[in-house]
Amino acid sequence: MQRLGTARWLAIAGTAVLVVAVAVLVGAALQHGNPQAADGEAQPVPTFTLGAQAQTPTPTPTEVDVALEQTRFLAIGSEVWWRATAGSCAGPAPLVERSYDEGATWTDVTPAYLGIAQVQTLEAFSGRDAELVAGMAGCEPHALRTYTRGEFWDSYPEVLAASRYVDPRDPGSVHLPSGPVPAPCPAAHGLHAAGDMIALVCAGRAWSWSGDEWLELAPEGVLAVSIDDADALVAHRSADCAGVAVSRVPAESPDSAAIVGCAEGTDAATAVAIDSAGDEIVVWAGDALISVAP
């Protein structure tokens, strides 16, 4: 009987100890879940995330494309320089200008009296004369030439038939003398053609026509193209240039591009045009004309 009483007492004591231990653990858990500051005020309950935490991706900066009506053209003759902004058949009017002093001053020679609405190409076909393809009434394409340094312009249907240009009514179509071909994107612009070489800008890349298909040229962030002999000149953004970089891309090697110059201080976020002038390349960006020597 005595041993039985002792066992009962030990059991009761063990249960009491267990109850105390549980109480201590519960109190500790509550203290952890609702900690108090040194002054005794309750602090916010901490939160915990199990497993891998989702990361909010950092947005990649996007380059804003220049509006098609702001597309620029630059054509340098040995005696007269020409430049133009495209304009739009459904928006702002184009502007065509001429310079006798290598771009120091410009004169407006836009053939507004003919109803010009949108410039698609601009070329100096002689040292003093120029031609352009433009959308006229109803955005119908016409080839205009001037033999009077821009004082008068006339339409030449035979020149239009032989021209290469983006259709002003459909920027996803390129007119070739052999017939229309689809552009490499729905909004091609800035086309230049010389000899067998045709180059244009599409969705921030430069493209050249091989005779059968469009070939994507190497530089990215393209702003404008021009042609020098059989090579494409490409104005583009580059981490290596604090302004507008210019690369030369050989016609036979579209994947090969070498930066030949940098127009320091120019704004690579604005509309740009380029052309070669002898041994130099001229970049028109903002209000500036910058000569880049390769």
What pTM does this model have? 0.77
Q: In what order do the strands lie in the sheet with 173-176?
A: 165-166, 173-176, 179-182
Question: In the prediction, which pLDDT does 266 show?
Answer: 93
Q: How many helices (H) and strands (E) does the chain have?
A: 2, 22
Give the C-alpha separation, 70 to 63, whole Å.
Answer: 16
pLDDT of residue 198: 97
How high is the pLDDT of residue 6? 40
In 3D space, the residue among 207, 233, 208, 203 whose CA is nearest the CA of residue 221 turns out to be: 203
Place domain 68-292 in its CATH homologous superfamily.
TolB, C-terminal domain (2.120.10.30)
pLDDT block averages, 10 residues each, the chain of length 294:
39 40 40 43 37 34 65 97 97 97 97 98 97 97 98 98 97 97 97 96 96 95 94 95 95 89 93 94 95 85
Which of 92, 147, 149, 144 has its CA nearest to residue 118?
Answer: 92
Q: Which sequence spans correspond to the domains of the chain?
A: 68-292
What's the pLDDT score for residue 108?
A: 98
